[in-house]
Each structure stands twice: as structure tokens, then as C-alpha cells.
Amino acid sequence: MAHVMKPMEYYLDEKGMTTAELAEASGLEVQLVKAIAKGNYTASPSDRRRLAEALGVSIEDVAWGHVVPVEHLRGNGPQCGRST
């Protein structure tokens, strides 16, 4: 069976943790942890390591994907003269 990665919010629910508790346990800012959990920000390798350790899982267990569509990011799309 293939290894299935799960979103960070799955592990937060499983552990009964809030993003504020995860931020404290990982030493990261609350706003950053919230953005990563919602998929609005892609965590750096060091942030991934700190978050995974705080959750008690492997980095490979977490789906770190960015879920915000690219056209909603600054500097891309028709509002900037470029369509995607």
C-alpha cells in the first residue's frame, strides 16, 4: 500500500491541538502556523521539521501543499497583464 500523506489540520485534530498550541510547541509565530495549516503559505524545510516534531510525526507524513490557486497570488493573472 502506498504511503498516504495527510494535511496538517488532520494531525491537529488527531492530537486535539490548536494552531496556537502548535505554534508554541514548535516555536513559530501563530499567524505563520495558521497560514501553513490553511494551505495559504508553503512551509520552509526548517519550519516543516519543527512542525512535524511538535506534532510527533515524520515530515513525510504531512501533505505540505499550497492550496491557494496561483491566480489569486500577487503578480500573476489578468490584473497584471498576464493571463494564466
Listed by start position, the domains of the chain span 6-72
The predicted pLDDT at position 31 comes to 96
pLDDT band at residue 38 using 50, 70 and 90 as cut-offs: confident
Per the model's pLDDT, the better-predicted residue between 68 and 3 turns out to be: 3
Q: What is the mean pLDDT of residues 36-43?
A: 88
Contacts of 14 (CB under 8 A, 6+ apart): none
Q: What is the mean pLDDT of residues 6-33?
A: 95
CATH architecture of 6-72: Orthogonal Bundle (1.10)
21 pLDDT more than 80 = yes
User: What CA–CA distances, in Å, run from 8 to 75, 79, 83?
Assistant: 28, 32, 32
Q: What percent of the chain has pLDDT over 70?
A: 75
